[in-house]
């Protein structure tokens, strides 16, 4: 089997298929031999489980997943990569390649057909940067599917934001949204030089362990997401102003709610903890 993280091998394969990288599809392929085994290792908890990979490229991570999971289903949007993937993953009978946009893929149907008797499904991907948050929320918000964990390579700044503790300077709406569904953590960082073509940013691999049941302290999910969105829509304003305009309520009304919740109205959204948001939702 050829080493798919060897830059010479990648160039040879791509030129034999006349393939040119597409910037708009976020195509930066891994050229470091340690990254994909480490990602796959961190993704597997049970050898009998299945994994969905998003954007396999030429299959460098796919084959590491195939060695460790019972079944791998890789969803790749770029149809030019399909014949390449068929060739590079040919020796693994447990790999299925699907040519589709992950954001238009019916994940419930995919799981029902491809992972019928599996009791555990994970997601592992070196994500294209342009759809990082959309893909994460697409999977987390889908109530009809149950995945155990997501191991994702994403831009370093996005990783820091997603994994930031609510209440810390780096937190944002995405940090709270992800924490509603699971526990995110940074596993390791990956230098930009580990990719071809080299991107302008560094990356991190994160893991989100999904909660067995969604947050118990948040009673009204729709309202929780509405409050988070309103609070962070005007990050620079204090919470009394951002919530007032975002929720269409008077300053006095919001002040009363914040006082009852014991939250300083002059705080900004990033200073509020998960529990603070929960109290606001209850009091609204």
Residues that bind ligand SAM (CB under 6 A): 25-30, 54-57, 60-61, 75-78, 81, 101-103, 126, 128, 131
* DSSP state at residue 78: -
At closest approach, how far in Å is the CB of 78 from ligand SAM? 4
| Contact residues for 11 (Cβ-Cβ < 8 A; gap 6+) | none
Nearer to ligand SAM, 102 or 177 (CB): 102
At closest approach, how far in Å is the CB of 24 from ligand SAM? 9
Q: CA 6, CA 135: separation in Å to the nearest integer?
A: 28
At closest approach, how far in Å is the CB of 103 from ligand SAM? 5
Nearer to ligand SAM, 30 or 173 (CB): 30
Q: CA 221, CA 223: separation in Å to the nearest integer?
A: 5
Nearer to ligand SAM, 58 or 272 (CB): 58
Q: CA 27, CA 249: separation in Å to the nearest integer?
A: 45
Nearer to ligand SAM, 60 or 240 (CB): 60
Residue 239: how many CB atoms within 10 A of its CB? 26
Q: CA 31, CA 177: separation in Å to the nearest integer?
A: 32
At closest approach, how far in Å is the CB of 47 from ligand SAM? 22
Nearer to ligand SAM, 128 or 184 (CB): 128
Q: Which residue is nearest to ligand SAM (CB)?
A: 55
At closest approach, how far in Å is the CB of 209 from ligand SAM? 22
Nearer to ligand SAM, 25 or 284 (CB): 25
Counting Cβ atoms within 10 Å, is residue 136 exposed (0-12), middle (13-18) or buried (19+)?
Answer: buried
At closest approach, how far in Å is the CB of 137 from ligand SAM? 14
Counting Cβ atoms within 10 Å, is residue 105 exposed (0-12), middle (13-18) or buried (19+)?
Answer: middle
Contact 176, 277 (CB under 8 A): yes
């Amino acid at each position: 089997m050829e080493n798919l993280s060897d830059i010479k091998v990648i160039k040879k394969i791509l030129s034999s298929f006349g393939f040119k990288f597409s910037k708009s599809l976020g195509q930066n392929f891994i050229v470091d031999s340690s990254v994909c085994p480490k990602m796959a290792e961190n993704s597997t908890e049970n050898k009998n489980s299945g994994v969905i990979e998003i954007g396999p490229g030429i299959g460098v991570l796919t084959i590491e997943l195939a060695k460790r999971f019972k079944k791998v289903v890789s969803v790749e949007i770029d149809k030019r990569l399909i014949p390449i993937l068929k060739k590079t993953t040919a020796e693994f009978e447990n790999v299925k390649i699907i040519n589709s946009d992950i954001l238009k893929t019916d994940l419930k149907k995919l799981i029902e057909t491809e992972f019928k008797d599996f009791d555990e499904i994970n997601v592992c991907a070196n994500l294209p940067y342009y759809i990082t948050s959309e893909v994460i929320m697409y999977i987390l918000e889908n109530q009809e599917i149950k995945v155990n964990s997501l191991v994702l390579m994403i831009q370093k700044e996005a990783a820091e934001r997603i994994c930031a503790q609510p209440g810390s300077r780096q937190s944002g709406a995405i940090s709270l949204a992800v924490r509603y569904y699971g526990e995110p953590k940074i596993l390791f960082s990956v230098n930009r030089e580990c990719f071809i073509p080299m991107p302008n940013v560094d990356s991190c691999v994160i893991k989100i362990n999904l909660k067995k049941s969604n947050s118990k302290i948040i009673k009204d999910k729709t309202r929780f997401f509405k409050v988070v969105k309103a609070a962070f829509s005007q990050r620079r304003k204090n919470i009394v102003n951002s919530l007032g305009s975002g929720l269409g309520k008077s300053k006095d009304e919001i002040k009363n709610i914040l006082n009852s919740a014991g939250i300083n109205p002059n705080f900004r959204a990033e200073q509020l903890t998960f529990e603070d948001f929960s109290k606001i939702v209850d009091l609204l």
